Structure 1
Amino acid sequence: MMAFNFIKRQLLKVIEWTDDTQNTILYRFDVPDRYAIMRGSQLTVRESQVCIFVVEGKIADVFTPGRYKLDTENLPVLTALYSWKYAFETPYTGEVYFVNTKQFTNQKWGTSNPIMMRDKDFGVIRLRGYGIYSYKVEDAVKLMRELSGTNQQFLTENIADQLRKMILSTVTDVIAESGIAALDLATQYDELSGSTKDRLADKFTEYGFKLIDFYIENLSLPEEVEKTLDTRTSMGVLGDKMGTFTQYQAAHAMREAANNQGAGGSLAGAGIGLGAGLSMAGVFSEALKGAKDAPAEAKANTVKCTKCGADVKAGSKFCPECGNKMAESRFCPECGAKVGANAKFCPECGKKLN
């Protein structure tokens, strides 16, 4: 009965696959009813395709782009399996798979849950991120063995979740090892993307893929850190040190606590409010004092060059602007106070100087 069915089947003249999708990685070719793949069937493998013949679950012959007239000469593995000594004697009853080797671009990755990151300024923070990547099949046989098996179809969606988990794990490691502060991450996307791509390349290869591009498009800080960044930027007049910023935050917190006591608060509440106000005033007083005094202190440590008038660091032997020899320190002969090189009177006792 089986032989009769073979006789009734007609020669399948053309074996080919035209991909009209954007996401099919592997496709199993369906042989139409009453047709069979026989000696003389023509196989067409287009550019960006690989064709694989599978018999009894085993990968047999592999065809790269080109046109083939099937015969024992170009089916060496099948010829051995079927014991075809002289010719393609019986219809081929195995399976034919086409693998798409084009680039699958604009593949998206992102964090479904925040990833934890230890930052030198803010401690442990939660970070979200997203980006895109592209890849292609580089080893069709490895793809079938490791991922797709003998499924009817294998789509980009079937592997997307696995790749996303792999990407997130690698991105987390790269950011942690970089030591880049959370507030500076936005300026380092290119560097982080390159490091992540290099580390992911071998992992993609394990599945028969080649990673073409990888980009980090955004790394989002938690809302509270974003607000902190805005506040810290507005504190530029007080300096960019975390110590000053922390003092400001403490004063702000105490002010809020005082405001929350309410108009009908007790005497103790009023005391808290007064303390908070004084504390905050002290913080700003010290910060502003430091900002104002710094230039004055720097000015006091210089003297004027008698030749060109430039400010010269006190104690210098020569002027860095004109090379003039600076006058040595003078002292009042009456009271011993140190006086300027060009002083006519002692600023301490008023004695006239030579």
Structure 2
Amino acid sequence: MGLIKAAVASASSTLADQWLEYFYCDSLSNNELIKKGVKVVSKGSNTKGSENIISNGTGIAINEGQGVIIVEDGKIVEFSVEPGRFTWDSSSEPSLFDSGWKGLKESFATFGKRFTMGGTPGKDQRVYFINLKEIFDNKFGTASPMAYKDPTYRGIYIRYYGQYTFKIEDPIKFYTNVAGNVSNTYTKDEFDSQSKAEFVNALDTTIAKLADENVQYNDIPKKQMELAKYMNDALDEEWNDKRGIVISSVAIEKVTPDDESRKRIEDIDDAIMYSDKRVAAGRLVDAQASAMEKAASNEAGAMQGFMGYGMANQAGNNIAGMFDDQTQTATPSAASSQGATWTCPKDGTVNTGKFCSECGTPKPSDGTWTCPNDGTVNTGKFCSECGKPKE
């Protein structure tokens, strides 16, 4: 029993024109993961056929974003993830249209029903349409704050919430291990009831991994690619290998610390900010201005208020002094940078450098001076030629 690709019909041909009986499914909504196909019988044909028996030659139309599995007596006998029109041939082997999807034929070999040449059809045959599109709007959040080892704030507690998307990568595993024999429709809501706790537990482990990589708590929402990869790793055995599902994306919309952690974060931020002397000095100016305003409006008298302000101001000056000292240390005095002047013994030119700017004579060695009257270089307190005292 298997599917055979139907010949391409004319553009105006409808399903009813091509087959007397056919299965078709409109676009599956975001909430519909599996839907049982309903047999449609064309006008003029025998309408007394069983709903759960697929007649030889029945047509099956598969839309984009859909897959089909055919089940006989609870076992999968055929599947296709390739869109198009197909005809059911009860005498042929399964065609297994996997459209290049990895692992589907292996899954069929594990879970599918073995084909028996000449075997009689089962008493219950069903066509199920599988939603292969990305499934959006799967919300999650923490029930209580979780510990987070932040690289800056150390041990804090955070809450977070967001959304994730997933896809059914292996319809055979999903039907066999999750949905089972669906009477009509298997929805995302049903899947959420059993999967949400698993997802949140895996996400807690994933976020702890970000902490090990020194990601600050408020940068977690930026790590969407890493979150999706780590989540697939964490859920690989339970979701992918067993259920045929992969996580497509994880978006954390908001991360908030609890009240105690928020206070700690604010205190550490203040300490970091005021460790900068320039910021501390600016804060001091604001505090002094505020103190002066309060002193002026003191009901006990402005003088008493300003006495209190003076005591506070003195303490503030000690802090400001540290800032001033740093500035003064970093800036040498103008006088020292300029150096002393000396007079050239040959032409009397007053210089500041090591050589005379007019004749190039070197500056006399330390301890000597040149008489301004006759240019004699002396070492004592009086000129050795004219007796003029050293200035």
Matched, 1:22 2:30: yes
CA separation of 1:156 and 1:40: change in aligned 2, threshold 3 A: same
Matched, 1:171 2:206: yes
Q: What is the identity, as a one-letter code, of the residue corresponding to 2:188?
A: T
| Pick aligned residue for 1:73 from 60, 80, 92 | 92
Kept after mapping to 2: 8 A contact 1:137/1:210: yes
Could you say what secondary structure the match of 2:229 adopts?
helix
Where do 1:208-287 residues align within 5 Å?
208-230=244-266, 238-239=274-275, 285=315
- CA separation in 2, counterparts of 1:194 and 1:237? 32
User: What is the CA-CA distance between 1:133 and the residue it aligns to?
Assistant: 1.7
Where do 1:194-205 residues align within 5 Å?
194-202=225-233, 203=235, 204-205=239-240
Q: What is the identity, as a one-letter code, of the residue corresponding to 1:303?
A: P
Kept after mapping to 2: 8 A contact 1:174/1:195: no
User: What is the CA-CA distance between 1:230 and the residue it aligns to?
Assistant: 4.5
Aligned CA RMSD, in angstroms, stands at 4.1
User: What is the CA-CA distance between 1:67 and the residue it aligns to?
Assistant: 0.7
- CA separation in 1, counterparts of 2:71 and 2:192? 26
Kept after mapping to 2: 8 A contact 1:137/1:209: yes
Kept after mapping to 2: 8 A contact 1:38/1:91: no
- CA separation in 1, counterparts of 2:273 and 2:159? 31
Matched, 1:155 2:213: no
User: What is the CA-CA distance between 1:61 and the residue it aligns to?
Assistant: 0.8
Q: What is the identity, as a one-letter code, of the residue corresponding to 2:161?
A: Y
- CA separation in 2, counterparts of 1:93 and 1:76? 20
Provide the TM-score with structure 2 as the length reference.
Answer: 0.54
- Taking only the aligned residue pairs, the percentage that are identical comes to 19
Kept after mapping to 1: 8 A contact 2:75/2:113: no
- CA separation in 2, counterparts of 1:232 and 1:76? 66
Q: What is the identity, as a one-letter code, of the residue corresponding to 2:60?
A: L
- CA separation in 2, counterparts of 1:80 and 1:233? 67
Q: What is the identity, as a one-letter code, of the residue corresponding to 1:213?
A: S
Gaps of 5+ in 1: 1-10, 245-280, 310-323, 326-352
CA separation of 1:73 and 1:224: change in aligned 2, threshold 3 A: same
CA separation of 1:18 and 1:166: change in aligned 2, threshold 3 A: farther
| Pick aligned residue for 1:42 from 59, 65, 68 | 59
Aligned equivalent of 1:58: 75
- CA separation in 2, counterparts of 1:116 and 1:215? 20
The Cα offsets for residues 230-270 of structure 1, whole Å up to 9 and x where unpaired, read as 455566763279xx9xxxxxxxxxxxxxxxxxxxxxxxxxx
Matched, 1:132 2:163: yes
What is the count of residue pairs matched by the alignment?
258
User: What is the CA-CA distance between 1:68 and the residue it aligns to?
Assistant: 1.0
Aligned equivalent of 1:101: 132
- CA separation in 1, counterparts of 2:57 and 2:319? 92
The Cα offsets for residues 101-150 of structure 1, whole Å up to 9 and x where unpaired, read as 01112321211222122345655332100112222212111222332222
CA separation of 1:74 and 1:289: change in aligned 2, threshold 3 A: farther
CA separation of 1:289 and 1:167: change in aligned 2, threshold 3 A: farther
CA separation of 1:149 and 1:285: change in aligned 2, threshold 3 A: farther
User: What is the CA-CA distance between 1:160 and the residue it aligns to?
Assistant: 2.5
| Pick aligned residue for 2:218 from 159, 166, 186 | 186
- The structure whose Rg is larger is 2
Kept after mapping to 2: 8 A contact 1:170/1:196: no
Q: What is the identity, as a one-letter code, of the residue corresponding to 1:225?
A: S
Gaps of 5+ in 2: 1-18, 41-47, 97-111, 281-310, 339-352, 355-389
Aligned equivalent of 2:149: 118
User: What is the CA-CA distance between 1:305 and the residue it aligns to?
Assistant: 6.2
User: What is the CA-CA distance between 1:217 and the residue it aligns to?
Assistant: 1.2
